[in-house]
Amino acid sequence: MILLVLGLALWVGAHLFKRLAPDARAGLGSSGKALVAVAIVAALVLMILGYRAAPFVAVWTPPPFMVHVNNLLMVVAVFIYGMSATTGRLRGKMRHPQLTAVKIWAVAHLLVNGDLAAIVLFGGLLLWAVAEVVIINRSEPWDRPAPGPAKKDVTLVIVTIAMFAVITAIHAWLGVWPFPG
């Protein structure tokens, strides 16, 4: 559990560094980007290793139907995450599509995982995403981008389906079958 908490703390610190200490971050110059990138990768490794090694401490038992809710929310999360890269009509409909997707992802995973490590990991990342949105909204104005062509949104739907298939395949490969039955 210690690795999980350290990874989560490093993730939050690396992501909030630019916002909470902009002068210190600017003082690092371009090498600061590499430092933050290394910290984020290290945080991911620590969170993954910590989560996999954490003892299973049951806090609550999710009802079986939550798997369906999780899968639906995951399709939505992948779609919304993709909105950050789209140049279609949906561009500019949401200020923080990536952070919103992280929040949906975290809630979806909290619905199907009732153990302490899952609550720490997914709950911690949910709290981070909420804090990040609040900090960004308070500190930076938003220039809403102009919408692009609708055909790009069709591409987003196709990419969402493909990415969801890849994500479910990775879960299956890791031994976590994401579908009931």
| Structural domain of 26 | 1-54
The residue-averaged pLDDT of 98-123 equals: 98
Please give the average per-residue pLDDT across 97-124, as a whole number: 98
- The answer to whether 160 and 79 are in contact (CB under 8 A) is yes
Q: Do 173 and 108 belong to one domain?
A: yes
Q: Which residues, 6+ apart, have CB-to-CB distance to 83 below 8 Å?
A: 90, 91, 93, 94, 97, 156
Does the pTM surpass 0.85? The reply is yes
Q: Is the pLDDT of residue 110 over 70?
A: yes
- 62 Cβ contact list (under 8 Å, min separation 6): 111, 112, 113, 114
pLDDT digits (tens, 9 = 90+) for 34-69: 999 999 999 999 999 999 999 999 999 999 999 999
Same domain as 61, residue 50: no
Radius of gyration of the chain from Cα atoms? Answer: 18
Which residue has 């055909």 as its token pair?
151
Of 11, 36, 54, the position where a domain reaches its end is 54
Number of domains observed in the structure of the chain: 2
